[in-house]
């Protein structure tokens, strides 16, 4: 076909340079993906965050993906898209898989965002699946084992404290079996923080944990203090140890956020 007389060129001439086969709004030229594409985008982001071995608090890509999920599910964006809960089965329901604490924490972060942005009717319609995800015996057992092993080894303490805090937020007594180990963490980190302050220059400015990495000793210590404080009325023998740590920190720490946490107890 002669390119001079092609349908494409003729259409451009007849309609002032506009291809009528492409939907373009004079008032809103922004591209709007169709429902299927939107669902695929959100589904991919959810899978990426849930299966990532990097915590959303530490991994740059994971954190950015979580922020996109928050943004896309807002009322002014794509609130109507269907979120398939079976994407969480691997990391929450099928707890026998080789999931890391970060997989579990990330999945709970995403699920919390979804529940915040979905309607009550949606939650009721999916209540059975949600219950299976959050109350699965194997899942609870895996959380307990992960916390216990993490406290004993001292590995990945930030994620362990996040799990402990989440477990105690709904039923505080659930963290009682781990309280002795958490207090040992408080003791250890108290010594580290005090020693770091003593080794710092005498004219060093007062720091804030807001400038610290999420998994820094001070950030982990703050969470450990909050966990113990939530069960302080039920502590017996470990209470003097905890109070001694608080007194030492008040006297010797220079971190504003840590001091605010202690004085807020």
Q: What is the DSSP string of 95-161?
A: TTS---HHHHHHHHHHHHHHHHHS-HHHHHHTHHHHHHHHS-HHHHHHHHHHHHHHHHH-TTHHHHH
Rounded Cα gap, residues 170 and 123, in angstroms: 19
Per-residue pLDDT 10s for the chain (265 aa) are 445 555 544 544 454 444 444 444 455 567 677 778 888 888 899 999 988 888 887 778 888 999 998 888 888 888 777 788 888 888 887 655 666 778 888 888 888 888 888 888 888 888 888 887 877 656 677 788 888 888 988 888 888 888 888 888 777 888 888 888 999 999 999 998 888 876 655 555 445 544 456 678 888 999 999 998 888 887 777 788 888 988 998 888 888 888 888 888 7
Q: What is the number of H-type helices and E-type strands within the chain?
A: 12, 0
In 3D space, the residue among 28, 148, 161, 166 whose CA is nearest the CA of residue 92 turns out to be 166
Q: What pTM does this model have?
A: 0.54
Cα separation, 231 vs 10, whole angstroms: 78
The pair of three-digit structure tokens given for residue 80, joined into one six-digit string? 């109507």
The tens digit of pLDDT for each residue in 166-183 reads 888 777 888 888 888 999
What H or E segment, with its residue span, contains residue 198? helix 179-199
Domain edges within the chain: 35-135, 176-263
CB 244 within 8 A of CB 187: no
Q: Are 57 and 106 in contact (CB under 8 A)?
A: no
| Maximum Cα–Cα distance across the chain | 93
Q: How far apart are CA 230 and CA 102, in angstroms?
A: 24
Query: Which three-class secondary structure state does DSSP give residue 78?
Result: coil
pLDDT digits 0-9 by tens, 107-147? 888 888 888 888 888 888 888 888 878 776 566 777 888 88
Query: Do the beta carbons of residue 66 and residue 104 sit within 8 Å?
Result: no
């Amino acid at each position: 076909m002669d390119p001079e007389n092609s349908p494409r060129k003729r259409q451009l001439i007849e309609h002032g340079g506009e291809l009528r086969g492409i939907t373009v709004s004079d008032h809103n030229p922004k591209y709007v993906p169709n429902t299927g594409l939107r669902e695929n985008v959100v589904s991919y982001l959810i899978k990426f965050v849930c299966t990532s071995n990097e915590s959303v608090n530490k991994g740059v890509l994971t954190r950015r993906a979580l922020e996109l999920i928050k943004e896309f599910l807002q009322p002014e964006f794509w609130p109507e898209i269907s979120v398939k809960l079976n994407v969480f089965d691997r990391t929450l329901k099928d707890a026998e898989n080789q999931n890391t604490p970060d997989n579990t924490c990330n999945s709970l972060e995403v699920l919390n965002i979804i529940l915040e942005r979905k309607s009550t009717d949606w939650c009721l319609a999916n209540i059975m699946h949600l219950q299976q995800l959050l109350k699965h015996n194997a899942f609870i057992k895996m959380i307990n084992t992960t916390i216990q092993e993490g406290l004993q080894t001292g590995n990945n303490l930030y994620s362990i404290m996040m799990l402990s805090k989440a477990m105690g937020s709904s039923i505080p007594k659930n963290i009682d079996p781990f309280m002795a180990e958490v207090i040992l963490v408080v003791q250890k980190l108290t010594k580290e923080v005090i020693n770091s302050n003593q080794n710092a220059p005498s004219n060093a400015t007062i720091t804030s944990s807001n400038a610290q990495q999420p998994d820094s000793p001070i950030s982990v210590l703050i969470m450990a203090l909050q966990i113990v404080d939530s069960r302080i009325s039920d502590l017996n023998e470990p209470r003097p140890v905890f109070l001694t740590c608080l007194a030492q920190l008040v006297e010797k720490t220079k971190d504003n956020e840590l001091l605010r946490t202690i004085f807020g107890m």
